[in-house]
Structure 1
Amino acid sequence: MHFRRKPLLDVLVSRTGGSQPGDRPGIVTADLAWAACHRPDEVLAVLESGPQGLDAAQVRARQDRDGPNDIGHEAPVPIWMRLWHGYLNPFNLLLTVLALLSWLGMDLEATLVIGTMVALSTLVRFVQEERSHRSAGALQALVSTTATVMREPVTRWQEIAQRDLVAGDRIALAAGDMVPADARLLDARDLFLSESALTGEALPVEKFVAPGPAGTPALAQRNLVFMGTNVVSGTATAVVVCTGERSWFGALAASTLDTEVQPGTFLAGVNSVSWMLIRFAMTMAPLVFLISGLTRHDWLEAFLFSLSVAVGLTPEMLPMIVTSTLARGAVRLARRKVVVKRLDAIQNFGAMDVLCTDKTGTLTQDRIALSRHTDAFGTPSEAVLGLAALNSRFQTGLKNLLDRAVLEHVDLGGGDQQGAELARKIDEIPFDFQRRRMSVLVAQPGDGLPDRHELICKGAVEEVLTVCDRVRMSVHDGGGERRLDAELLARTLACTGALNREGLRVVAVAVRTLPPSRLDCTVADEAGLTLVGYIGFLDPPRDSAAPALRRLAGHGIQVKVLTGDNALVTEGVCRQVGLPPGSILLGTDIEAMSDAELQAEAARHHLFAKLDPMHKQRIVRALRAGGHVVGFLGDGINDAPALRAADIGISVDSAVDIAREAADIILLEKSLLVLDDGVIEGRTTFCNMLKYIRMTTSSSFGNVLSVLLASAFLPFLPMLPLQLLVQNLMYDISQTALPFDRVDDDLLERPLAWNPSGIGRFMLCFGPVSSVFDLATFALMWWVFGADDPTRQSLFQSGWFVAGLLTQTLVVHLLRTPRIPFVQSRASATLLAMTAAIVVAGVWLPMGPLASHFRLQALPAAYFGWLGLILLGYGMLATLVKRIYIRRFGWQ
């Protein structure tokens, strides 16, 4: 009663007095340590949980007390903090320093323009990240994890959202489940859990119900299961002890909330380019300062101009462009039924050149129907169907499509339904991926005699045959049972081979009679069985499989089929969908190979059969070691290791919990067509980010060359600091529409890999092109329009302001595509409208009433004819250089 009067946590802390060595200190250790050392009925009593679980009032009270069963969530961040995060990037910090220096230099106009650039970058990034966050939250709800729980007044197991679990809930666990909370086992059958997420131990751990020894660390107790681990095989029921941040996994997650997440490959590359440009600016700005100061002897003016050059070289919109492009890509992918869990996974999605996938549900319809039920020699047999139905009906583990197909067939009138209703279950041996079979012990009525206890085993043909020593003969062979000798074994295998060649998946059924006194069974009882026959299932190919495979091949993606199924069945399905299987590599072959041998064989083969989870993982790693960007599509517990090993793990919303948790991307429809759509969207997103990076680096490099030459030879500044800042701001605004741009179809045909070294090469090739026409503009203004002394510098600066802005805007269209812009490739309407608006504003500024505010002046009409020639020449030279560059290096 003392326990009931006080909160459980207070009681357990006071009784245990802290943690054991090796445990995480605190109240969670106390809860779990106490529960592990006491009997299940004692734990249930303390938690006030009955045979039917908790009632609604108890659930509400505990949810109010403990909160939702969620982990790893930070407290809501106030708006000012989100704005601060939007501001906090190296470019904004650099610009802030430059704005402060301008203010100290009494250049208020420059301070205002730089401040506007910082505010624009921060606000746009803030808005985009808010939209992305809301979209991600809504999409994540589509793939939320559930738990199987018993609660009053419903007297059956029901599915609820994992976050709604509370301490005291009775939960059920089966193979493939993620453990939803820290819990104490109430009963368990051949229960094995993978606890690698907590302990790093790769091998599964067997769990039991009996109380553990006092003083043992909680993680070492065999009667506790922990949130974040997953059930490899077996079944169990348990009572929840700790939820949410009070769970072991929750506390570990909370301790890492403040840990900085390391960027992915693409974002790391973007960061490297960012710092390269910053170092470039910090090197060039002092050089400009020295040259301008030495040639004009006005060090204050030279200082302000060098600050403006530094601003012009700073791609302050880069963080915003990357964020908005990724966010838009995620939203567009969602419209194509693809949920992105990590934004930077989009780049890997576009770079993927090998897709490893299972056969079932991707190449086939995932709607398996029972097509045959025969004895061991191919004669139709109702007895085999009846035994298979009893096995599927009474097993409580992970019911797969085959079990459902058997039960649906029986419900439609096949088999002896009356006999199935009279039978009752005694015990079971759950399925696991090592044995690849499962058994149930069933009591059959005996017509006045004691019930007959039969162990009915169903599973993969090879694995069932290994535990059989007899076979039930066909009627035309005289019936009865005979020893399974080599001759009869060859006949049975010929039967299964014929069924496989028809495209049927074959499952063997075997039985063994046990004494009526036996009330339980173990794996050791799966011996000395009698082979009864086979059930064959047909999973027709998807109508979309063949065209999807053609589309993936057309987009440069090799498809490799990795399956645990029979090689003959898989080969038949692959031929039907137009995927030439070639030679098939089996799991037994892989076991005998070294990693280097497997790397060579994995590249050569396209079909892998009879694989276990570790075989799939090894194949994925071998392909990655060979230089491929590997995606893995899987939805089962046996796919989890390969999902984690791949560059990009892909699962579906109907997958088991552990597969969804391990994936980077979730498909809302298990279809290769949907996946191909997602790949194209990923490549589109990557291309648009790459456009901005290329334009920014090449334009910045060209401006530096022009400024250095002008500073050395002109008796005045080629452009005032304020004018340079305004020009840079307008150019940046024109590029904010790049995330909405369209991408040429031919750029999407091949995988796109991030190549930072190619960025520097691109910059060195295209940057000087703009400098050539900057020099042409200088010559035009100096010799044609007579702006050759400081008294006419305003005309010179106005001419370069307009020419520089229009050539930079033209760069957006010239470098967004390898084709001829406006003719062979046209930008999106949004980008066209934005760049057109900037062109109009750039021409209007020196010609309109605001010109004097920016120390500009109206340009003569003849200037615009020369400007047209400059723009035409720039476009032609840039196109020529582009052709040479593509022939030499390729575009991507």
Structure 2
Amino acid sequence: MELYRQPLAEVFSALDSSAGGLDAATAEERLQQFGFNQLETKTSINPWQIFIDQFKSFIIYILLFAVVFSLLIGEYVDSVIILIILLVNAAIGFYQELSAHESLEALKKISTLQATVLRSGQRKVVDAKLLVPGDVVLLEAGDRVPADLRIIESVELRVEESALTGESVPVEKQAMNIDNEVPLGDRRNMLYSATTLSTGNCRALVAATGMVTELGKIAELVKTAAEEQTPLQRRLDQFGKKLSFAIIIICLLVFALFFFKDFFNNGFSGDALLALVLIAISLAVAAVPTALPAVVTIALSVGVKRLLDKKALVRNLSSVETLGSCDVICTDKTGTLTASQMTVRYAWTADGETVLSGTGYSPEGELSGEPATELFRCGLLCNNASLQLEAGKWHITGDPTEAALLTSAAKAGVSDGRKRLAELPFSSERKLMTVLVGDKAEATSYSKGALTQLLRRCNRILLANDVQPLTDEWRERIEQQNADYASQALRVLAFAMKPQTGQASEQGLVFVGLQAMIDPPRPDVLESLLKTRQAGIRVIMITGDYGETAKAIGREIGIEGGAMSGEELTALDASGLKAALENGVNIFSRVAPEHKQRIVEALQQMGKTVAMTGDGVNDAPALKKANIGVAVGSGTEVAKEASDLVLLDDSFTHIVNAIEEGRGIYDNIQKSIMLLLSGNLGEVLIIFCAALFGINLPLTAVLLLWINMVTDGAPALAYSVDPYGTDIMLRRPKPREEGILPTSKLALLGVLGTVGSLLALTLFFQFGGNSPDADRLIYAQTMVFNFVVLYEVILTFVIRSSYQVPFFANRWVWAAALLSIALQALLMYTPLASVFKIVPLGWTDILALACAGALFAAASLIYQLVMRWQGDPDKIYS
């Protein structure tokens, strides 16, 4: 049986301790037995292994083969360029991954603090890592709990546990017996490591230290959580494998077809064999999208910069794209969907109801309805919190509930400078707090607390500034109003007063009214959630708070679907949880850290790409397990270190911005792949058709390598900074099983490559490419060579139009296109032409090329118009 369920005497016996604590010798023995009160970390990271891991990708393997091929045919510049691209890409990935292994170190830092402990009955301050089970520690308001503790005795103890349980207000704790098994958040006789005392003080017995604490269990979950491969990494890897097999097959076919043709016509020749080997290798080099790793890295890096401008810090480059692919966001409630600031919504008196606008602790807001000055005065004076404006933000000291009462009084313009004469502090038995203010001649007591406790101490009621008898009818109306507020998951406090002299009294009070408050949704959450729905993304709320509170917030912000508690979730196996998720359960309350991880795993098993947002220690395992973890700015360091994306403030809007950015980056990467593959496909088809039909080679090995160098890199890189299409947040998320290019884009790629290769072959035949005359063949090859360069320049703009990007929106695309044309002209009309075995072209030739280019552009645009007319199946809204 867990220690929270055992009587205190049995806990002392089980831990072989006493109220005076352990002696020094016993503490030292137990330290040797249990080890330090700190969290374990993984074995040290090997930087060399991280660097080597950057090359473990199929697309990288075929590029390394391309380097070898380039060296074989003497193209040293090409091989050096590819190697530089690969090394830069690996260096960026190495830096990102090395900085991502810090979650457990952050957890470890939480445990390194000082603690006041009783050793042989004497107070002693020790390093918290020296605490052992059986130690007795003393804690006061503001102290951080150093281990898991069983409370021995306490005074007005309230503990902030939101980092561990997600509960939005401090929890009352006391030395009590609990017989039944209850969730972590309801164990009122226990204190847990990494939580903080808000009010009161206590003496407590150390029940667990180090990795055995609840925090340690979370650390173990973080340590063992497998890191998911991002959709981009998975798709690029699959794409690389398929591409490499296709390239190998095509190159072998080309080699075989030309070899047998040459063998039957001329017999075996060593020079001819070498030429065939070179053309096959050149074709392989041309077919490999050399610039792809650089394009992906630069596109992601540009996205990182854009996100930083939008208050989101990316810790892992590939995480940017993952957010754009996610179809489920699992979000914490407190601090993420809500402001994590208690706010009074309603004030009720016998005269009527006052509605307060505004959120948080800023005293800005409007009041409508009946005035409730005396009610707000009660909340102002019966209060130990304080509000300060620092650097343009309101900060609180003390209990958040009391701070909310100060804010409501400020909104109502109520102030009172009377001196406090006495106080009856809040206690768990009375559930009341009373203060006496004024002077000896004329004083007034003000009380606040739970309605059930306060109402039975009242015999009068304040009505129209006049004190009248509190009748049974009034009692029923007050209790009904309290029930109405409670049904909306509002936290309700009752208030009373009594003019008196002498000591503060809590009998014969005058009932004043009720104040109902809640941790409200952030102002921008409604619009942000609407955008996620338009983008086809499901939002699931996962919180440690109570079910009614979670459902009330869900109703207010538009999270629809069923609700489930942590206790109900525990009773389900993996298939039962999947069934619940499939049936539309979107709100989970009173959850433990392992519950969050189970939910994420179940969604991933359903084929979902999951983003998990959170701010607390309890969110860390799920943040790491999710496809992408998103920590909010005010959250714990643990959550930030376990996440992939950190919002620099807590606005949910920045998650939507990140999703949009991720989708845009993915579009730009797709565009680059489309450009690289369309051009390469055209080149491969030209050579393959020549081999298949037994005609002369339209392009030589050196011409293929030049085309690859001039037309691939710069335009594809320019796509990295392309603006995004206007419909980007009106599409469904990318299906998990979809390849790097969807079917519609593959079809477009095939059309572009086929049309381009047909036009090239037409020019080849038209200008004497199949003639036995060597000069005619060089002339025809020159025409094809120039057309392929023009075709790939036109491709740059045709592909952008398929993503609905404005024609003149990116000056870098235009610069890249002009650079390709300029380099081609430099080659054609300088002595370099003889090196490449081509001839300068005249105006009529250039006109013929322009007509062929215009025909290609027209065919491509007509095809896109037809496809657009048929409709986009991925679009949710038109």
Classify the TM-score, shorter chain: 0.5 to 0.7
Indicate which of 67, 70, 74 corresponds to 1:108: 74
Deviations 1:231-266 (A, max 9, x none): 9999988999989xxx9799979998xx99541233
- Tell me the equivalent position of 1:282: 248
Q: Partner letter of residue 766 of structure 1? A: L
CA distance in 2, matches of 1:307, 1:342: 36
Number of residue-to-residue matches in the alignment: 744
CA distance in 2, matches of 1:252, 1:139: 11
Indicate which of 786, 789, 799 corresponds to 1:805: 789
Indicate which of 78, 86, 92 corresponds to 1:122: 86
Q: Measured at CA, do residues 74 and 141 of structure 1 come closer, stay the same or move farther in structure 2, by a change above 3 Å?
A: closer
Q: Measured at CA, do residues 131 and 837 of structure 1 come closer, stay the same or move farther in structure 2, by a change above 3 Å?
A: farther
CA distance in 2, matches of 1:242, 1:402: 33
- Tell me the equivalent position of 2:828: 846
Cα deviation for residue 282 of structure 1 reads 1.9
CA distance in 2, matches of 1:381, 1:548: 37
Indicate which of 673, 676, 679 corresponds to 2:653: 673
Residues 229-238 or 354-363, more deviating: 229-238
CA contact (8 A) 1:376 1:472 kept: no
SS state at 1:737 partner: helix
CA contact (8 A) 2:379 2:402 kept: no
Q: Measured at CA, do residues 625 and 302 of structure 1 come closer, stay the same or move farther in structure 2, by a change above 3 Å?
A: closer
Deviations 1:508-535 (A, max 9, x none): 4699xxxxxxxxxxxxxxxxxxx99743
Q: Measured at CA, do residues 785 and 596 of structure 1 come closer, stay the same or move farther in structure 2, by a change above 3 Å?
A: closer
CA contact (8 A) 1:47 1:168 kept: no
CA distance in 2, matches of 1:623, 1:295: 56
SS state at 2:650 partner: coil
Q: Partner letter of residue 835 of structure 1? A: A
CA contact (8 A) 1:285 1:306 kept: yes
CA contact (8 A) 1:326 1:346 kept: yes
- Tell me the equivalent position of 1:6: none
Q: Measured at CA, do residues 72 and 828 of structure 1 come closer, stay the same or move farther in structure 2, by a change above 3 Å?
A: farther
Indicate which of 773, 791, 809 corresponds to 2:756: 773
CA distance in 1, matches of 2:210, 2:581: 44
- Tell me the equivalent position of 1:689: 669
CA distance in 1, matches of 2:821, 2:22: 75
CA distance in 2, matches of 1:373, 1:253: 44
Q: Partner letter of residue 648 of structure 2? A: L
Q: Partner letter of residue 721 of structure 1? A: A
Q: Partner letter of residue 491 of structure 1? A: R
Q: Measured at CA, do residues 752 and 288 of structure 1 come closer, stay the same or move farther in structure 2, by a change above 3 Å?
A: same
- Tell me the equivalent position of 2:58: 90
Q: Partner letter of residue 333 of structure 1? A: L
Cα deviation for residue 44 of structure 1 reads 10
- Tell me the equivalent position of 1:303: 277
SS state at 1:507 partner: strand
CA distance in 2, matches of 1:488, 1:324: 70
Q: Determine which structure has greater relative contact order: mean sequence separation of CA pairs < 8 Å that are 6+ residues apart, divided by chain length.
A: 2
CA contact (8 A) 1:333 1:678 kept: yes
Cα deviation for residue 879 of structure 1 reads 1.8
Q: Partner letter of residue 770 of structure 1? A: G
Cα deviation for residue 321 of structure 1 reads 2.4
CA distance in 1, matches of 2:711, 2:804: 21
Q: Partner letter of residue 322 of structure 1? A: V
Q: Partner letter of residue 777 of structure 1? A: A
- Tell me the equivalent position of 2:403: 404
1:271 paired to 2:240: no
1:332 paired to 2:306: yes
Q: Partner letter of residue 809 of structure 1? A: V
- Tell me the equivalent position of 1:613: 591
CA distance in 2, matches of 1:868, 1:382: 85
CA distance in 2, matches of 1:738, 1:794: 34
1:741 paired to 2:709: no
Deviations 1:294-325 (A, max 9, x none): 12242221112111222222223333322332
What aligned pairs does 1:623-772 form with structure 2 within 5 A after superposition?
633-635=613-615, 649-656=629-636, 660=640, 664-714=644-694, 716-734=696-714, 735-754=716-735, 755-756=738-739, 759=742, 762-772=745-755
Cα deviation for residue 733 of structure 1 reads 1.3
Deviations 1:69-110 (A, max 9, x none): 9956956847xx88766556434433444544565xx6323x
CA contact (8 A) 2:150 2:191 kept: yes
CA distance in 2, matches of 1:174, 1:881: 74
SS state at 1:876 partner: helix
CA contact (8 A) 1:643 1:662 kept: yes
1:783 paired to 2:742: no
Q: Partner letter of residue 115 of structure 1? A: S
Cα deviation for residue 114 of structure 1 reads 4.1
CA distance in 2, matches of 1:678, 1:41: 55
CA distance in 1, matches of 2:743, 2:115: 63
Gaps of at least 5 residues in structure 1 are 1-35, 50-65, 153-164, 198-205, 209-221, 430-437, 448-454, 459-463, 512-530
- Tell me the equivalent position of 2:257: 291
Deviations 1:130-161 (A, max 9, x none): 78679989999999987895599xxxxxxxxx
SS state at 2:477 partner: helix
Cα deviation for residue 784 of structure 1 reads 2.6
Deviations 1:270-300 (A, max 9, x none): 2111111111112222111111211224222
- Tell me the equivalent position of 1:507: 492
CA distance in 1, matches of 2:817, 2:103: 33
CA distance in 2, matches of 1:439, 1:790: 105
Q: Measured at CA, do residues 295 and 541 of structure 1 come closer, stay the same or move farther in structure 2, by a change above 3 Å?
A: same
Residues 639-648 or 828-837, more deviating: 639-648
CA distance in 1, matches of 2:314, 2:83: 29
CA contact (8 A) 2:338 2:521 kept: yes
CA distance in 2, matches of 1:361, 1:251: 22
- Tell me the equivalent position of 2:504: none
CA distance in 2, matches of 1:44, 1:847: 94
TM-score of the two chains, using structure 2 as the length reference: 0.65
CA contact (8 A) 1:288 1:707 kept: yes
Residues 631-640 or 341-350, more deviating: 631-640
Cα deviation for residue 336 of structure 1 reads 0.3
Residues 651-660 or 626-635, more deviating: 626-635
CA distance in 2, matches of 1:701, 1:305: 16
Q: Measured at CA, do residues 642 and 140 of structure 1 come closer, stay the same or move farther in structure 2, by a change above 3 Å?
A: closer
Deviations 1:183-206 (A, max 9, x none): 999989799999x99xxxxxxxx9
Q: Partner letter of residue 855 of structure 2? A: G
Q: Partner letter of residue 733 of structure 2? A: L
SS state at 2:792 partner: helix
CA distance in 1, matches of 2:807, 2:664: 15
CA contact (8 A) 1:813 1:827 kept: no
Q: Measured at CA, do residues 500 and 231 of structure 1 come closer, stay the same or move farther in structure 2, by a change above 3 Å?
A: closer
Q: Partner letter of residue 734 of structure 2? A: A
TM-score of the two chains, using structure 1 as the length reference: 0.64
What aligned pairs does 1:136-215 form with structure 2 within 5 A after superposition?
149=113
- Tell me the equivalent position of 2:12: none
Q: Partner letter of residue 781 of structure 1? A: F
CA contact (8 A) 1:350 1:680 kept: yes
CA distance in 1, matches of 2:200, 2:739: 49
Cα deviation for residue 709 of structure 1 reads 0.9
SS state at 2:801 partner: coil
SS state at 1:816 partner: helix
Q: Partner letter of residue 652 of structure 1? A: V
- Tell me the equivalent position of 1:18: none
CA distance in 1, matches of 2:199, 2:753: 66
Q: Measured at CA, do residues 620 and 456 of structure 1 come closer, stay the same or move farther in structure 2, by a change above 3 Å?
A: farther
